[in-house]
């Protein structure tokens, strides 16, 4: 059965718009990496790294060891969020200077676990700057001095970096670059970094923020129940007329494994429906949009009468996606399978909605949020 041109047209317009938008959401120009020329032995006494850790025995040693190569006098607070493994003991074994380990208390009602841990740690901070660092993020040498220099030069109150996710197994290579690509379509970094734009994006693995700004917001209480806490914090900071910046990086590396489809599925489904504000209407609109952008163009490729239009859309998709693949040194052959990836992410979003309505909700390390 022939596919009418009017059915194909929305997908064509969607990808033309993405490609031609002046803020270029597909671009990787917003990027920051550590520099070999950065000053050695930089004094970092004005900074406290705040790490929430719950059952992070597999990652915490690498994360803390990397902090030894950032500069001098860096303060580190690790909040052991009621771990049932030996996270705290392993953290102590690193012998990191200026490391304080706090035993987290029972999760307070109305809080998400990560934010409750961060709030407990924040109350022990006595420096002008805080870095919120996930327990599975390893920083390359001298990244923090480079970040500090950018913050001061551009008078930023908050800076966050999209961590370099592991892309070693087939499923990681197939899905993780697209995860970042789709995130940047939803939250264009270029718009987020402009003071006169309502878009506010952040990447929670590495967030550099002025302590006074966080105190001005009332600490993490302002976003205490947020599952997408990074963007929620960015919105609060920007709403209070502070300057933020978000970019990609090769120098903050996530060492958490997502080596199976099920592990990536769980990661996406945990917050996908939250992105849609738990709205059935937005879920329906998202579904129609994804079908127009990915489903119908693929169907068009299967019909002689519409194959040219299907190929045009596939080429536009590949042009938009290739910069992300290039940034992560991925094989460009992954670009033509973006429609399949998009449909997979749509199904994950529906599974997220299913969990919200018919299961216990989002699950993270034994805690359920709904």
Q: Which residue in this structure is represented by tokens 């489903």? A: 295
Whose CA is closest to 346, among 277, 292, 303?
292
* 18 and 77 inside one domain: no
State the burial class of residue 35 (Cβ atoms within 10 Å of its Cβ: 0-12, 13-18, 19+): middle
* Residue 36 placed within a domain: no
* 21 and 96 inside one domain: no
* Residue 368 placed within a domain: no
Whose CA is closest to 246, among 295, 194, 211, 289?
194
Q: What is the pLDDT of residue 188?
A: 98
* 57 and 98 inside one domain: yes
According to DSSP, the β-strands at 137-139 and 244-254 are antiparallel
Name the stretches of the chain with pLDDT < 70: 1-2, 37-40, 361-370
Q: What is the pLDDT of residue 362?
A: 61
* 242 and 125 inside one domain: yes
**Domain end position, chosen among 202, 233, 259:** 259
Q: State the Cα–Cα distance between residues 293 and 8, nearest whole angstrom.
A: 9
* 216 and 327 inside one domain: no
* 251 and 297 inside one domain: no
- Identify the bridge partners of residue 31 per DSSP, sorted by sequence position: 248
> At 49, which helix (H) or strand (E)?
strand 47-53
Per-residue DSSP letter, 129? E
Whose CA is closest to 337, among 173, 165, 167, 163?
173
Q: State the Cα–Cα distance between residues 17 and 26, nearest whole angstrom.
A: 11
Residue 89: CA count within 13 A, CB half-sphere: 4
**Domain end position, chosen among 217, 235, 259:** 259
Work out how many domains the chain is built from and give that number: 2
Q: What is the pLDDT of residue 30?
A: 98
Q: What is the pLDDT of residue 36?
A: 74
Q: What is the pLDDT of residue 5?
A: 85
Whose CA is closest to 352, among 276, 289, 294?
276
* Residue 154 placed within a domain: yes
Q: What is the pLDDT of residue 204?
A: 85
Contacts with 118 (C-beta within 8 Å, 6 or more apart), sequence order: 50, 52, 79, 132, 220
Contacts with 6 (C-beta within 8 Å, 6 or more apart), sequence order: none
* Residue 38 placed within a domain: no
Which domain CATH number covers 82? Answer: 3.90.550.10
Edge-to-edge strand order for the sheet containing 244-254? 99-103, 75-80, 47-53, 129-133, 206-210, 158-164, 244-254, 137-139
* Residue 367 placed within a domain: no
* 147 and 224 inside one domain: yes
Express each pLDDT in 1-53 by its tens digit.
568 888 899 999 999 999 999 999 999 999 999 987 666 689 999 999 999 99
* 77 and 125 inside one domain: yes
* 147 and 79 inside one domain: yes
Q: State the Cα–Cα distance between residues 79 and 208, nearest whole angstrom.
A: 17
Contacts with 244 (C-beta within 8 Å, 6 or more apart), sequence order: 156, 157, 158, 159, 160, 192, 193, 200, 202, 234, 237, 238
| Contact yes or no for 274/361 (Cβ under 8 A) | no
Contacts with 1 (C-beta within 8 Å, 6 or more apart), sequence order: 303
Max Cα separation, the chain?
Answer: 69
* 111 and 235 inside one domain: yes
* Residue 89 placed within a domain: yes
Angle between helices 307-327 and 338-358 (to 10 degrees): 80
3-state helix, strand, coil in the chain (%, to 5): 50, 15, 35
> At 50, which helix (H) or strand (E)?
strand 47-53
In terms of residue numbers, what domain contains 146? 47-259
* Residue 364 placed within a domain: no
* 240 and 212 inside one domain: yes
* 18 and 158 inside one domain: no
Q: What is the pLDDT of residue 180?
A: 98
Its pTM surpasses 0.75: yes
* Residue 223 placed within a domain: yes
**Domain end position, chosen among 228, 259, 290:** 259
């Amino acid at each position: 059965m022939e596919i009418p041109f009017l059915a194909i047209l929305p997908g064509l317009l969607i990808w033309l718009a993405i490609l031609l938008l002046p803020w270029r959401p597909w671009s990787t120009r917003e990027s920051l990496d550590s520099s070999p020329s950065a000053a050695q032995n930089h004094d970092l006494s004005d900074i406290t790294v705040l790490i929430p850790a719950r059952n992070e025995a597999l990652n915490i040693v690498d994360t803390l060891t990397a902090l030894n190569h950032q500069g001098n006098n860096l303060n580190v607070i690790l909040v052991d969020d009621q771990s049932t493994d030996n996270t705290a003991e392993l953290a102590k074994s690193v012998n990191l200077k200026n490391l304080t380990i706090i035993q987290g208390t029972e999760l307070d009602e109305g809080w998400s676990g990560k934010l409750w841990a961060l709030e407990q740690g924040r109350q022990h901070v006595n420096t002008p700057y805080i870095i919120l660092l996930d327990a599975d993020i390893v920083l390359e040498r001298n990244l923090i001095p480079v970040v500090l220099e950018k913050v001061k030069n551009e008078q930023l109150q908050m800076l966050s970096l999209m961590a370099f996710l592991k892309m070693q197994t087939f499923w990681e290579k197939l899905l993780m670059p697209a995860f970042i690509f789709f995130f940047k379509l939803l939250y264009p970094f270029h718009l987020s970094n402009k003071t006169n734009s309502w878009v506010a994006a952040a990447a929670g693995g590495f967030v550099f923020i002025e302590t006074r700004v966080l105190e001005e917001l009332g600490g993490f209480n302002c976003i205490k129940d947020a599952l997408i806490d990074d963007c929620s914090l960015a919105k609060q900071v920007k709403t209070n007329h502070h300057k933020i910046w978000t970019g990609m990086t090769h120098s903050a590396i996530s060492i958490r494994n997502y080596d199976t489809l099920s592990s990536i599925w769980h990661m996406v489904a945990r917050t996908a429906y939250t992105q849609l504000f738990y709205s059935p209407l937005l879920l329906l609109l998202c579904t129609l949009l994804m079908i127009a952008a990915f489903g119908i163009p693929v169907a068009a490729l299967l019909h002689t009468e519409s194959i040219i239009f299907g190929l045009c859309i596939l080429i536009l998709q590949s042009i938009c996606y290739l910069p992300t693949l290039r940034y992560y040194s991925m094989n460009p052959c992954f670009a033509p399978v973006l429609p399949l990836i998009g449909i997979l992410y749509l199904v994950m979003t529906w599974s997220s909605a299913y969990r919200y309505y018919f299961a216990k909700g989002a699950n993270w390390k034994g805690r359920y949020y709904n």
